[in-house]
Amino acid sequence: MEPCPSFLYRKTVLWLLQTRSFKALPPVPTPYGKPLPTSIARSFHRTESISSHPDDPIPHASLETVDIEADSGPRHLTFSPNGKFAYLITELSGKVIAFSYDDGRLEQIQTITADTVAARGSADIHLSPDGKYLYASNRLKEDGIAIFAVNPENGTLAKVGYQPTGIHPRNFNITPNGKYLLAACRDSNVIQVYKRNEVTGLLEDTHQDIVVDMPVCVQFVSSVNNL
């Protein structure tokens, strides 16, 4: 087996750490490979900062931290296409926290509710390819996807809709052309296919479900030759 190419380790990444069990979630690449010495902890009592070195894939503690409200449960984070903003979904508090991002640093600019029924099961978060709309999934109660419009000037969010889904939408993804959103509804054993209105951001169920046993992840590749 050939060794992994060195460029795979050249991006400093953001780690979300669950401090009680020290179970790290997958790393999030920063825009344009710029260093991000800051991370957010999935912390109930304290925060932890993790960064990675270009030549060392193992995360190490850093002095930089970003504090968020206790018992939030930060889960996934995504960056805007222009690299100026980042959005964090918190699993337990059901919030989306918006950050400005500059020179490797995050600064909170807004907190908005994605889970309005306190289900404590928010899951995934993605921006549309054009950066105009943000989507966040919720599980355990009122399963569905919250839809937010993104202010292009300051990165703040405004809720514009909510799309009910199958049971336990643990993961979802938007097609690269922005026309469809696919939701992996684990406990319904389907991947639901939604047509996305690129003007309003709202979703329409195509009823073209992909039946699969307990789907938990949706990813897109351009071709096998590019893997």
pLDDT digits (tens, 9 = 90+) for 141-187: 999 999 999 999 999 999 999 999 999 999 999 999 999 999 999 99
Instruction: Read off the pLDDT of residues 188-219 as tens digits, 9 standing for 90 and up.
Output: 999 999 999 999 999 999 999 999 999 999 99
For residues 172 and 152, the answer to whether their CB atoms sit within 8 Å is no
Cα-based angle 138, 144, 145 (whole degrees, multiple of 5):
80
- Whole-number Å distance between alpha carbons of 22 and 17: 6
- Whole-number Å distance between alpha carbons of 102 and 136: 24
Q: Is residue 19 over pLDDT 70?
A: no
Closest CA to 88 of 52, 46, 124, 59: 124
Amino acid, res. 50: I
Amino acid, res. 137: S
14: confidence class by pLDDT, cuts 50, 70, 90:
very low
Q: Is residue 47 over pLDDT 60?
A: no
39: confidence class by pLDDT, cuts 50, 70, 90:
very low
For residues 135 and 129, the answer to whether their CB atoms sit within 8 Å is no
**DSSP label at 84?**
S
pLDDT at 12: 33
Q: Is residue 49 over pLDDT 90?
A: no
Region for 94 from its dihedrals, namely left if φ exceeds 0, alpha if ψ lies in -120 to 50, beta otherwise: left
- Whole-number Å distance between alpha carbons of 152 and 145: 21
Instruction: Read off the pLDDT of residues 59-69 as tens digits, 9 standing for 90 and up.
Output: 555 545 788 88
Q: Say what the pTM is.
A: 0.78
- Whole-number Å distance between alpha carbons of 85 and 63: 22
Concatenate the DSSP letters of all residues of 85-102 into one string: EEEEEETTT-EEEEEEEE
- Whole-number Å distance between alpha carbons of 36 and 151: 24
Share of the chain above pLDDT 90, in %: 63
Q: How many CB atoms lie within 10 A of CB 126?
A: 21
Lowest average pLDDT, out of 15-29, 76-90, 154-168, goes to 15-29
